[in-house]
A and B are shown apart, each in its own frame.
Chain A
Amino acid sequence: MTTATERSITLERPRPLGPLIHFLEHQFLRFRTTFRGTVVSGTVGPLLYLLGIGVGLGSQIDAQDSGLGTADYLQFVGPGLMAAAAMQTAASESLWQTAGLLRWEGTYVSVSNTPLSTGQLFFGHVLWIGFRVFVGSAIYLAVLAGFGVPTSLLALLSPFAALLTGMAFGSLISAWTGYTTKDQSYAVILRLGIIPMYLFSGAFYPISQLPAALEFLARLTPVWHGVRLCRGLIIQQDLNPSQALVHLAVLAAYICLGLFLGSRFFRKTLGS
């Protein structure tokens, strides 16, 4: 490289993580304008679900008799819903929202002309989705605590489990958004991907109730692992440390796959 000309500004020595940190700063600045709305809807959403399903539907279910192993249905379904909500938040951030940043409004196109690399950009993008999910999950946990659901301080770790669940979905679905320009496919992903996973995630009932083939498929989805982790952490049900490690490893593997695919597809989109 030739030497740079004289500048009135000083450019920091490029640090490996520098541009990534600036990317997150940028996202925080964007977030300011929508933060309040996120907190309000992040509180109202869980309240409605927990009241409607946990308390309302739960009044018709005898948790002990049906073998859920919890005091009541709310205790069973609450932690599961938190993981399922993490998936939904990540999915909605990864489709139209991401296409807007990557193509329509092009915020990512402009930052790709800075020292930020595409790999850093995609990693930052997924981290940011994880952060959004974390904020949502922390609120979810607070609402659950209001209902008296958590049984120990381990519950404080559950937003991190939700964060990983969100990053798994965020990376994989954002990779898809980077791959295709066909935004009709986004609605298909929600209807034929996210909603079925929501229903068969083990949030509402143990997946052992499902036919064997379906149960097998349900075990493959990232959301089931997230549901197991959240429930295990919040109500200490059915989760020993080695099982927890397996769930973490599976989520980590999905995140790695999503990051690998996503940075490739983003690079291709941003370079064309």
Chain B
Amino acid sequence: MASKPVIAKDLSKAFGDFVAVDGISFEIEPGESFAMLGPNGAGKSSTMRMVSTVSPRTSGELQVLGGDPLADGSAIRSRLGVVAQEDNLDAALTLRENLMVYARYFGIGWKQAGRKADELLEFARLADRAKAPVMSLSGGMKRRLTIARALVNEPDMVLLDEPTTGLDPQARHLLWERLYQLKERGVTLLLTTHYMDEAEQLADRLVIMDQGQIVAEGSPASLIAQHVTREVLEVRYPADSTVDFQTLGLRNEPLADRTLVYTDDGEGTLAKLITDGHTPTSSLVRRASLEDVFLALTGRTLVE
């Protein structure tokens, strides 16, 4: 089996006085789908750019596909697929040309590049638009073309920085499906996201980042089990209510408009609140999510 695609040890990145990434350590296994979850400014994209070899690290150690990004940049990039936050497609070219020109940079012959482009247009469900200009595409189509472009060299690892930000739900689900297909093929995925549902959908394992540091690491299920309860009861009370969850022995997180109560049995807890005379104006029982983990760990919500 190949060695670990990414090994980071005390990895840091500073821009002047600002420390974007503050001594993080993590390892990615071959074929794994690994996510970095965190709010904007958590240091995810900076980490991504160090892994993609375009941004030099400030300190610490980093190994990507067995090489050092500082010394072996070109060789590493030849085996990486990168989907940056911006699509950066070439508006002067057609869809097919975008893919072919990109493939050429990896030393793929014109003929093979053409074949690969057609195959990837099919994969991205854009085959009928092969000769269209990039400008005619919707946001979701552009994203799919960008992902197709990242696959021209059949990369060993694909980096995706906020792959579905700004897309409508339908476009997101189509994209997830394509990414899931890649994962099935055994491609290692490293993605950043600030959507917890995206991390839950795609990641085998993830780190939660906040202010340049990793605050938790594990599978989505294990993180939920470790840091919060199985279920969450959301309750709303009138502003003048005096319910004290602490004395009721309930672990809770007060938010601006509602309170989250962590419990393994949401319905039971709600019933008990009602029998105790604390009937909420509205209530909701749901499964705990990574959002709750983030809130429990940092006291803040992911998307503000």
Contact of B156 with A by CB under 8 A: yes
Q: Is the CB–CB distance between A114 and B93 below 8 Å?
A: no
**A4–B77 Cα gap in the complex (Å)?**
12
Q: Is the CB–CB distance between B54 and A116 below 8 Å?
A: no
Q: Which residues of chain A are within 8 angstroms of B65 by Cβ–Cβ distance? A: 1-2
Contact of B273 with A by CB under 8 A: no
Contact of B82 with A by CB under 8 A: yes
Q: Known interface pairs A11-B153, A26-B104, A114-B102. Does A271 touch B56 (Cβ–Cβ under 8 Å)?
A: yes
**A105–B105 Cα gap in the complex (Å)?**
19
**A22–B73 Cα gap in the complex (Å)?**
18
Q: Which residues of chain A are within 8 angstroms of B80 by Cβ–Cβ distance? A: 113
Contact of A10 with B by CB under 8 A: yes
**A113–B73 Cα gap in the complex (Å)?**
10
**A30–B76 Cα gap in the complex (Å)?**
27
Interface residue from A29, A111, A270 paired with B93 (Cβ < 8 Å): A29
Q: Is the CB–CB distance between B77 and A110 below 8 Å?
A: no
Q: Is the CB–CB distance between A107 and B88 below 8 Å?
A: yes
Q: Is the CB–CB distance between B107 and A5 below 8 Å?
A: no
Q: Is the CB–CB distance between B153 and A9 below 8 Å?
A: yes
CB-defined interface of A82-116 with B at 8 Å, one 1/0 digit per residue? 00000000000000000000000111011111111
Chain B binder among A13-21, A224-232, A233-241, A248-256: A13-21
**A27–B221 Cα gap in the complex (Å)?**
49
Contact of A62 with B by CB under 8 A: no
Q: Which residues of chain A are within 8 angstroms of B84 by Cβ–Cβ distance? A: 106, 109-110, 113
Q: Is the CB–CB distance between B2 and A11 below 8 Å?
A: no
Considering the complex, give the chain B residue whose CB is closest to the CB of A6. Answer: B154
Query: Interface residues of B, CB < 8 Å — how many?
Result: 47
Considering the complex, give the chain B residue whose CB is closest to the CB of A109. Answer: B88
Q: Known interface pairs A25-B101, A116-B105. Does A2 touch B3 (Cβ–Cβ under 8 Å)?
A: yes
Q: Is the CB–CB distance between B93 and A30 below 8 Å?
A: yes
Q: Is the CB–CB distance between B78 and A14 below 8 Å?
A: yes
State which residues 105-131 of A face B: CB under 8 Å: 105-107, 109-117
Contact of A23 with B by CB under 8 A: yes
Q: Is the CB–CB distance between B15 and A29 below 8 Å?
A: no
Q: Known interface pairs A14-B75, A14-B78, A117-B74. Does A19 touch B86 (Cβ–Cβ under 8 Å)?
A: no
Q: Which residues of chain B are within 8 angstroms of A111 by Cβ–Cβ distance? A: 102, 105
Q: Is the CB–CB distance between B2 and A2 below 8 Å?
A: yes
CB-defined interface of B64-81 with A at 8 Å, one 1/0 digit per residue? 011100001111111110
Interface residue from B89, B105, B154 paired with A8 (Cβ < 8 Å): B154
Chain A interface residue bracket vs B: 35 or more
Contact of A3 with B by CB under 8 A: yes
Contact of B248 with A by CB under 8 A: no
Q: Which residues of chain B are within 8 angstroms of A36 by Cβ–Cβ distance? A: none
Q: Known interface pairs A10-B108, A114-B106. Does A105 touch B88 (Cβ–Cβ under 8 Å)?
A: yes
Q: Which residues of chain A are within 8 angstroms of B109 by Cβ–Cβ distance? A: 10, 12
Q: Is the CB–CB distance between B105 and A114 below 8 Å?
A: yes
Considering the complex, give the chain A residue whose CB is closest to the CB of B133. Answer: A33
**A103–B54 Cα gap in the complex (Å)?**
15
Q: Is the CB–CB distance between B56 and A110 below 8 Å?
A: no
**A22–B101 Cα gap in the complex (Å)?**
8
Q: Which residues of A contact B (CB under 8 A)?
A: 1-5, 7-15, 18-19, 22-23, 25-26, 29-30, 33, 105-107, 109-117, 270-272
Extra A-B contacts (11), CB below 8 Å, given A2-B65, A26-B101, A29-B101: A5-B2, A7-B154, A9-B112, A10-B108, A19-B74, A30-B90, A106-B86, A109-B88, A110-B102, A270-B54, A271-B54
5 cross-chain pairs, A with B, having the tightest CB-CB distances, nearest first: A12-B107, A106-B88, A114-B105, A271-B55, A2-B66
A selection of 16 A-B contacts at a CB cut-off of 8 Å is A1-B72, A2-B66, A8-B154, A10-B109, A13-B107, A14-B107, A19-B107, A26-B104, A30-B90, A106-B88, A110-B88, A110-B149, A115-B77, A116-B105, A271-B49, A272-B55
